[in-house]
Amino acid sequence: MANKKGCIVLENISKSYKTGETVLHILKDLNFTVTKGEKIAVTGASGIGKSTLLHVLGGLDHPDHGKIFIEGEDIYSLSDEKVADIRNRKIGFMFQFHHLLPEFNAVENVMMPSLISGIDKKTSLRKAEDFLKKVGLSKRMKHKVTELSGGEQQRVALARALIMDPIVLLADEPTGNLDRKNSADVHMLLEELNRELEMTLIVVTHNMELASLMDKQVTLKEGSLVSV
């Protein structure tokens, strides 16, 4: 049997949204395979279904049909609790808007996935500090989220996404909300840390500079992923 470590397979994935009488078919019998360590840029028009795809892929939203295998495990055949556990241990998410918890400081936000997984506070804190150092925020550990700039908030979000050493990082327009300089910094970090930690990276982006740093560029078109 082939080595499934780090591998993600999407098999005949369909997803639609029904609003009143209208049915929007967003993903249509989509097939795609991601191998360990691969870096993929996903592009596509606004509203085409890129975020939907990442949510389905990352165990956040059930497809109507089809299967997602994460390291050989058919995730949507599992209980919600088991899916949440796989998400916590194997998948890192980064969104356009950071989705950090505003009432907590930087290091507390980064610790959160580790604490949720049952790792003790001391170890979680040490790991969170290490990751904040990696993203260049050793001087911002105790800052509240609201006291950080947009670029710093995204770097905290990146540290939080990485703390569990996921097999894959899913990033949904991570620099869509940043100015050019901050975008470039976050791109470099994504690329560097991906290389250092040897994880798979799937990034939705309109930024062609970032897309060109990836191994593969695909676009979402008429419900399927096609090479560009």
Ligand X SMILES: Nc1ncnc2c1ncn2[C@@H]1O[C@H](COP(=O)(O)OP(=O)(O)O)[C@@H](O)[C@H]1O
> Which of 95/131 has CB closer to ligand X?
95
> Which of 50/160 has CB closer to Mg ion?
50
Q: For the chain, where are the alpha helices, taking DSSP H only?
A: 50-57, 80-90, 106-116, 121-134, 150-162, 180-197, 208-213
Range 30-69, binding Mg ion (CB under 5 A): 50-51
> Which of 44/166 has CB closer to ligand X?
44
Is 51 among the residues that bind ligand X (CB under 6 A)? yes
Is 177 among the residues that bind Mg ion (CB under 5 A)? no
Given ligand X, Mg ion, none, residue 24, with its beta carbon under 5 to 8 Å by kind, binds ligand X
Given Mg ion, ligand X, none, residue 226, with its beta carbon under 5 to 8 Å by kind, binds none
Range 5-24, binding ligand X (CB under 6 A): 17, 19, 24
Among 43, 52, 154, 200, binds ligand X (CB under 6 A): 52
Between the alpha carbon of residue 168 and those of residues 98, 165, 171, 190, the distances in Å are 18, 9, 10, 12
Return d(Cα 98, Cα 176) in angstroms, integer: 11
Question: Which helix (H) or strand (E) covers residue 67, if one does?
Answer: strand 65-70
| Min CB(94)–Mg ion separation in Å | 13
Closest CA to 100 of 177, 42, 193, 40: 177
φ, ψ of residue 101 to 5 degrees: the values are -90, 115
CA geometry: angle at 73 spanning 94 and 54, to 5°? 25
| Min CB(17)–ligand X separation in Å | 3
DSSP 77: G
> Which of 22/146 has CB closer to ligand X?
22
Count, residues near ligand X per rule CB under 6 A: 12
**Two tokens, residue 168:** 């894959």
Return d(Cα 112, Cα 108) in angstroms, integer: 6
Size of the chain in residues? 228
| Min CB(38)–Mg ion separation in Å | 21
Return d(Cα 11, Cα 66) in angstroms, integer: 5
Among 47, 103, 209, 215, binds ligand X (CB under 6 A): 47
| Min CB(96)–ligand X separation in Å | 9
| Min CB(171)–ligand X separation in Å | 13
Among 26, 30, 106, 225, binds ligand X (CB under 6 A): 26
Rg (CA), the chain: 17
| Min CB(45)–Mg ion separation in Å | 10
Give residues in contact with ligand X (CB under 6 A): 17, 19, 24, 26, 44, 46-52
